[in-house]
Amino acid sequence: MIRSLSSRRPPLSRNVSKKGLLWLGTLIAALFLVVFHRDKPVGVVVVPSSTIDSSDAFSAIQDLHDALSQHRLDSLARLYSKPYRQNTPFPHIVMDGVFSEMYLRLVQQELSREPTQHGCIEGSSQCFHDISSQYKKSALDNEAKMGFLTRMLFEKMKGSTFVTFLEQLSGIDGLIPDPHFRGSGIHVTAPGGFLNIHADFNKYKKFNLDRRVNVFIFLNEDWRDEDGGHLELWSKDMRSCHQRILPAFNRLVVFSSTDFSYHGHPHPLPGPRSRRSLALYYYTNGRPSSECTDEDCSGDGHSTLFQKPFGCERCEDATCRAYAEVVYMSSPRVNSWLRFCNAVTALSWLAVVLVLLVKKNDDSCETHLTPSVRVALAVSGFEFINAVVGFTRSKPWQVFLFASVRTGVELWVTPLVGCAHVTHLLTVTCWAVGDSIRFGCNAIENHASKWVRYNVGCLLFPIGAFGEMWMVYTAGYPFAAALWPLGFFPLYRQLLKQRKKFMQSLSTSDKIKKTK
């Protein structure tokens, strides 16, 4: 028997109740959003768009379009291309008034929030607190957290007309803008902040592109000499500062990026104002070998190469004094504390080495070696504390993983295999020798000690990790031993990365000395 369609419909009351519940749920959700989220901050650094009058914005956009017209930029490129290539210490140009002042003032309004007490702007993707290289410097590269006019300016600078202008100005063909803002975007340095002299990373590994041109626009209105924050351009031998550029409002700086284009603003900002700029980097597929330190640009490239001026102890130059008095002695209490921690930790592990050398029998292992190892492990806890409070650049989770594995092995695995077992002696020997060298070199802090630390550490670390894994397996935990590589490889990869960065900086210094 075939039923009619009407016979399959649910009762009218059920239909009404379902729709009523649906509408009631929607209304409750809407009220919840209104009540609980109307004042909730969303973590963006832009001011509400309503603060910018629409007529002002339209006029400013038209001004920007006129300022960056092809005819005007072509004229500027013809006028400044020769000075750009002749300027020292490397090709660069400084131009005022290229952009519309009205437009940049509106961009300023979108960046009006001040950094927090820690020197970070709200919503920043990166905030640097490294006292030895860059400090209280924020970078924002998320377009969703930029104002509308700021995004439009960046789009203009990534467009064909502006890129062609940079090609004509620099003489570098085939420039490619970066849509992902790697290392670029909005930069803000808070009072007390600085960026030491450096050469930038030279390779965009994701796309295998070479970094060739840097562009900065400064947004600091009524900025005076005493406000500081000068962009400094240094010679290839790091003996002299050729240019000190005030980061004044509507000032455009363009320069060629090579392994020798040393620049930065190393003097801490006196305050109370923050230093603001927009940055964009441009790339090519390949570059001349003369722009690379080793004259071979085919490798994976390098990260940022921070430099120190030569002869600072004799030099009267202001930046040399800044390095000697501010950068490397900027926090004498912290530096003294770190040297103390490193020295004490090194001595505690050196004591373990001495116990290993004079160990006479298995009984002395239990009575002398075990207590000395546990004391050294306890003293090593300083490393974790210093990482947590930000006194060092070490990642707290890595230090914690490193220390907790050692502590667990010593407290729970050693009693199962025995103090005098070969696996325990191998492991403790690697720990003691490696850490007495590592912490001792950190306390001394010079090129020779760093070379010893990284090269010896890269040799002893895998041997010690193998000893730990062997101990765990011998103790009857094969599954736990199989998990050991999961912790070993991230830590060892980090050690190799640090060694590579140090050896690259050492190679750069050697090349510079050969050019003197």
Domains of the chain: 59-327 (2.60.120.620), 332-514 (no CATH)
Whether the per-residue pLDDT at 324 is higher than 90: the answer is no
For 52-66, 195-209, 465-479, which range has the lowest pLDDT when averaged over its residues? 52-66
DSSP string, 269-293: P-SSSPEEEEEEEEEES---GGGST
Residues 6+ apart with CB under 8 A from 212: 170, 172, 175, 256, 257, 282, 283, 284, 287
Mean pLDDT, residues 77-99 taken together: 93
pLDDT in tens, 121-171: 777 777 776 666 788 888 888 888 899 999 999 999 999 999 999 999 999
- In whole angstroms, give the CA distance from residue 76 to residue 464: 62
- DSSP character at residue 92: E
Peptide bond into 89 cis (omega under 30): yes
- Say which range, 35-49, 245-259, 429-443, has the weakest mean pLDDT: 35-49
Q: What is d(CA 376, CA 383) in angstroms, rounded to the nearest whole number?
A: 12
Q: What is this structure's pTM? A: 0.56
pLDDT at 191 over 60: yes
Mean pLDDT, the chain, integer: 81
- Residue 516 pLDDT more than 60? no
Band (410; pLDDT cuts 50, 70, 90):
very high
**pLDDT greater at residue 16 or residue 132:** 132
The mean pLDDT value for 184-197 works out to 90
Q: What is the predicted pLDDT for the residue at 64? A: 92
- On whether the CB atoms of residues 184 and 281 are closer than 8 A, the answer is yes
46 within 8 A of 147, measured Cβ to Cβ: yes
For the ranges 131-140, 171-180, 278-287, the lowest mean pLDDT is seen at 131-140
Contacts of 198 by beta carbon, 8 Å cutoff, 6+ apart: 133, 262, 263, 264, 304, 305, 306, 307
* pLDDT for 187: 93
Contact 326, 267 (CB under 8 A): yes
Between CA 83 and CA 71 the distance in angstroms is 20
Q: pLDDT tens for residues 343-352?
A: 999 999 999 9
Confidence label for 413 from pLDDT (cuts 50, 70 and 90): very high
Q: CA torsion 349→130→303→203, rounded to 10°?
A: 150
